[in-house]
Structure 1
Amino acid sequence: MMRSLTYGAMGLRSKVTLAGFLLCGVAAPLKAETVHLLALGDSLTQGYGLIEQDGFVPQLRSWLADHGHDVRIVNAGVSGDTTAGGLSRVEWSLTPEIDGMIVALGGNDLLRGLPPESSRANLEGILEVAEAQEVEVLLVGMRAPGNYGPDFKATFDAMYPELSEAYGTLYYPSFFEGIVSEGEAPASAAGLMQADGIHPNAEGVSRIVEAMGPAVEELIARVGADEE
């Protein structure tokens, strides 16, 4: 009789332990999957003139990790690339695991004085590829200097928000938003630029990432919403 009672108590304890284990297993939060982003850009994205960890992509990755995001960012920045170059490689750059894309192109179009209409057509082509592959996009703008004339500047500056609205992407006004005010040239950011006056130094990149980070978080949130 005592043996039966002991066995019964042990069996009951085992069932309670198993139930508790299962309950804990159900209640435990599932680890979020890694978000895969592609940063399509030029030398600003690539990290020109900087050691690797000081570049835009590594600093952005670190910023996102510090804010609780598990993100892998593919650095698809190519020094000297124009919007045409970005268009020529976007399709094969968007490998199957890519969930979202940061597009930061146009600076070299400005340096070469290329027609804004051509830049617009190239950016539109990039967004069409992203749309066809169901990849969320953060479109990063670039502001033209005034030396090309008011019409050029107005046309160039307007293409980013207009394309963003047309394709339903997220929009960030300017890559240099974190270090210069609207109407100022990047070279005016004393102490935050490299000697060429075109590329930010490590501290400049840090401030750019700090300013842009929340917009990238919005991109991550969109990716997550698409997967639910």
Structure 2
Amino acid sequence: MLAGTGGARAQGREVRLLMLGDSITAGYGLARGEGPPARIEALLRAKGRQVRVLDAGVSGDTTAGGRARLEWALADRPNAAIVALGGNDALRGLTPQQMRANLTAILDGLAARDIPTLLAGMMAPPNLGAEYGREFTAVFTELAAARPQLVFYPFLLEGVAGDPALNQADRIHPNPRGAQVLAERMLPAIETLLDRVAPSASG
């Protein structure tokens, strides 16, 4: 772990951190620089980590969309990745089985390239029913349990969802303060992820 940390900081080498997501990642409704990727990058640099967060968020994307564009997202040769997809699968009522297949393919693609990965979970809206909600959440927890090499952050919007003061009028997308809270809450897990980047992989 210490060696990984040294690799992330030594000699000013920059670590490229991919954030593959949907409108939450893309900062829907926010000015440039206000979304989660920019906030995460600023927090990491304030802690002395030379990290560039690659914003691969596309509004409206499902896990199928993320799967389809994974190769494109990897063209920037990231050293680590955050997978933050699934919210739109629930909003569109897609089956948890479909989501599991897509996330499995994404995680397999990253593992095949030895890219340390953080999986951020999501929760389904309550109007889809308790059974759907349980199956939906189980996809993330079971994928994480089966892949001990993953860093798992159970809920991307932890501490933000449901708080009117931290969300835009649609009650779905974080406002600037919400994006900051999201980044602050995720930071410890992201630092754990970055500590897994091999020294030779940075730069």
Residue in 2 that maps onto 1:205: 179
- CA distance in structure 2 between the partners assigned to 1:124 and 1:30 by the alignment: 33
Report the equivalent of 1:173. 154
CA drift at 1:74: 0.8
Alignment-derived partner of residue 104 in structure 1: 84
- Which digits, 9 at most, give the CA deviation of each residue in 1:149-182, with x for residues without a partner? 2221111101112112223311001111132xxx
From 126, 139, 142, the counterpart of 1:146: 126
- Which consecutive segments of 4 or more residues in structure 1 shift more than 3 A? 224-228
Residues 30 and 158 (structure 1), Cα distance of their counterparts in 2 relative to 1, 3 Å cut? closer
Match of 2:55, SS state, is: strand
What letter is aligned with 1:129?
G
State yes or no: 1:193 paired with 2:167: yes
Unaligned runs of 5+ in 1: 1-28, 180-185
Query: Given the superposition, is the C-alpha separation of residues 57 and 151 from structure 1 closer, same or farther in structure 2, using an over 3 Å criterion?
Result: same
**Structure with larger RCO (C-alpha < 8 A, sep 6+):** 2
CA root-mean-square deviation:
1.8
Cα separation, 2, equivalents of 1:106 and 1:212: 17
TM-score by length of 2: 0.90
Note if contact 1:104-1:175 (Cα within 8 Å) is conserved in structure 2.
yes
Q: 3-state DSSP class of the match of 1:138?
A: strand
> Residues 74 and 30 (structure 1 numbering): CA distance in 2 closer, same or farther, change over 3 Å?
closer
SS at match of 2:166: coil
Question: Aligned-pair distance for 1:118?
Answer: 0.3
Larger radius of gyration: 1
* Secondary structure of 1:54's aligned partner: coil
Identity of aligned residues (%): 45
